[in-house]
Amino acid sequence: MSHCSGNRLVSVLRRVPVDRVPIFEHVIDQRFVKHAIGLDERSLNLAGEPYAQLARYMHMDVMTLGYRSRAEGTRTRKDFAAMRLPDHEEFLRRVDDLLRVGEETGLGVNVYVHGPFDSTYLSMGYETFFFNLTDDLAFVEEMMETFTEDALAMVRALIARGVTTIEMVDDIAYNKGLFVRPDLFRTLWLKRMERIMEPIHASRTPVFFHSDGDIREFIHLVLDLGFLGINPLEPQCNDIVALKKQYGAKIALMGNLEIGGVLARGTPDQVHREMKRLLEAMMPGYGYVAMSSNSLANCVVPENYMAMVETVLEYGRYY
């Protein structure tokens, strides 16, 4: 069953007119969750009913669970042979719980799935991964292939359940561009991501992409793969207004409100001014989702984040 009807996030991803800018966060840490609903827990660990309470408090349209298959400490082929990936069925039971609550509340369910690139370097460790790019590229590719197949299996299970959106999470860049040279990155990543995307596109499930860092070196690949949106557009390395002028007609832009800046160290008035500025620049033509520049981390002052929410509710309306 599809859970897309009337969902603001889906509407913006598909460029359907919507009443206001959606609010979205995929990871919400303990400080804000405790402030909002009194539970000392991350959003990713919440059951359906408390997550729905949190989403309503934040005026979000979707609840998000995250699936990651990394196996940290897998540095050698012996480690790799012994590697065991997470149990899909246990995770999917949690997805089913959110879907049930979504049916009752009208909230959508977003699930993020880690891609093969960051799953591999986070499993190997940065140093081992980057040495292996020269010393044992075949080992890197074998591990990436394992994570590709695992992500593909998870994506198919999510599609079968009718989740509202799928978010592919693959941190492929830092604040100066891709982690590896572009030709090698394309060789390692592009065909594998195309395989993961094939059933998503076949099912017409709305899909968007997450990577930290400067997106300019890989935005063309994200567009070619058919993603409908991209986040979180960290402001220290992404000029979101310039990105809107160049790519705003092709892909929804999500985020850009700095968690290490006004959300953590500013005042509600400063947040209000910065969020209003973003809305004025980004709202024309739809295609914008209000979001922090990474996640709702524990450094974020809850009252500051709620100033962002209140600004969107007041100034983010189209009609």
Question: Nearest 10 degrees: CA dihedral of 137, 139, 143, 146?
Answer: 110
Residues with Cβ within 8 Å of residue 12, at least 6 apart in sequence: 18, 21, 22, 229, 252, 286, 287, 288, 289
Instruction: Give the pLDDT score at 2.
Output: 43
Architecture of the domain spanning 8-231: Alpha-Beta Barrel (3.20)
The Cα–Cα gap between 187 and 175 comes to 22
- Measure the CA angle with vertex 103, ends 101 and 105; round to 5°: 65
Q: How high is the pLDDT of residue 196?
A: 98
- Contact indicator for 59, 289 with CB cutoff of 8 Å: no
Cis peptide, bond prior to residue 232, ω within 30 of zero? yes
201-254 residue pLDDT tens: 999 999 999 999 999 999 999 999 999 999 999 999 999 999 999 999 999 999
Residue 55's contacts (CB-CB under 8 Å, 6 or more residues apart) are 61, 62, 63, 107
Order of strands, edge to edge, in the sheet holding 108-114?
A: 62-67, 108-114, 165-169, 207-210, 229-231, 252-254, 288-289
DSSP state of 249: T
Domain coordinates in residue numbering, the chain: 8-231
Contact call for residues 252 and 231 (beta carbons, < 8 A): no
In 3-state terms, what secondary structure has residue 168?
A: strand
Q: What is the pLDDT of residue 60?
A: 98
Low-confidence stretches of the chain (pLDDT < 70) are: 1-5
Q: Cβ neighbours of residue 269 under 8 Å, at least 6 residues apart?
A: 307
SS3 304: helix
User: What is the value of pTM for the model shown?
Assistant: 0.96
Query: What pLDDT digit, counting tens, does each position of 159-178 carry?
Result: 999 999 999 999 999 999 99
pLDDT at residue number 70 = 87
